[in-house]
Amino acid sequence: MSGHKQQYNFNKLQKRLRRHVGQAISDFNMIEDGDRIMVCLSGGKDSYTLLEILMNLKASAPVHFDLVAVNLDQKQPGFPEHVLPQYLDTLGVEYLVVNEDTYSIVKEKVPEGKTTCSLCSRLRRGILYRTATELKCNKIALGHHRDDILETLLLNMFYGGKMKAMPPKLVSDDGKHMVIRPLAYCREKDIIKYAEAREYPIIPCNLCGSQPNLQRQVIKEMLQTWDRQYPGRIETMFKALQNVVPSHLADTALFDFKGLSRDNTEGLEGDTAFDRENFSNPVVEDDEDGIEIDPALTLAVKAL
């Protein structure tokens, strides 16, 4: 591929990511004038992408907001503590590296062979909340993307018995901060391409990422398989999170089934919700970066 074509593809990819981030910020009112936002930087592809796009948007946004990049050094053996400061120095962004030995705590508390993610996440969350308060940040930006949100939905359905995902915006556990996920509309495969093109200095998580048979990894692989075999299915699944019909679920706290009668059905879909013609074909989102979707795959989707 020529250099011109590569630049063209990168520009379209960058434009798409910025558009998705801008749309999420607008839909959920994530950023307001005067915000001071702590951007959690792990050293992974998602948080690098998040920081760069927010910095770009800051330069052109109609409102003023400040960004502070924060990395939590959990004292994992072999962690390259020089990488992030060197990278952040080149950006000219305000940043802070917080040193907390959560690694030793996790290894002490979690039996050998058990996954460490849950305890690690709780410890990390508490430290980040405290840091946001110390930095006088009113919002905390995390790098979770659309695939993370869908994975969480399926994890809760399969293992937790709940219809619950990651919201793009929520109040922190301590009630002091707003947590936002500006990448909520972004596809992981787009972020992967972007990170590779930008050549971010990726730092792997050796504490938990190397552990086999994690439930989330199983779900991730299932979604990736669906995305390859049935283009558009993932887009349709995410759309469903924004198109909930409580009257056609079974949660009595969300809908008054006991009070339902033939006299108060206004606005309800009734049995028409199950009519075959109401199920549209999955929306196949064009990659827009020079990669054409195989027409045979599209025909296969329409045949479902």
- Per residue in 153-188, pLDDT (tens digit) is 999 999 899 999 999 999 988 888 999 999 999 999
Secondary structure of 231-284 in the HEC alphabet? CCHHHHHHHHHCCCCHHHCCCCCCCCCCCCCCCCCCCCCHHHHHCHHHCCCCCC
d(CA 257, CA 251): 9
Helices (H) and strands (E) in the chain, counts: 10, 6
Q: Are 211 and 115 in contact (CB under 8 A)?
A: yes
Burial 68-94 (b: 16+ CB within 10 A, else e): bbbbbbbebeebeeeebeebbeeeebe
pLDDT confidence of residue 301: 32
d(CA 163, CA 152): 10
**Which residue from 240, 244, 248 is spatially nearest to 268, judged by alpha carbons?**
248
Mean pLDDT of 103-132: 76
**pTM of structure:** 0.85
State the chain's mean pLDDT as an integer.
84
209 — pLDDT class (breaks 50, 70, 90): very low
Query: Would the pLDDT of 69 be above 70?
Result: yes
214 — pLDDT class (breaks 50, 70, 90): confident
d(CA 33, CA 54): 14
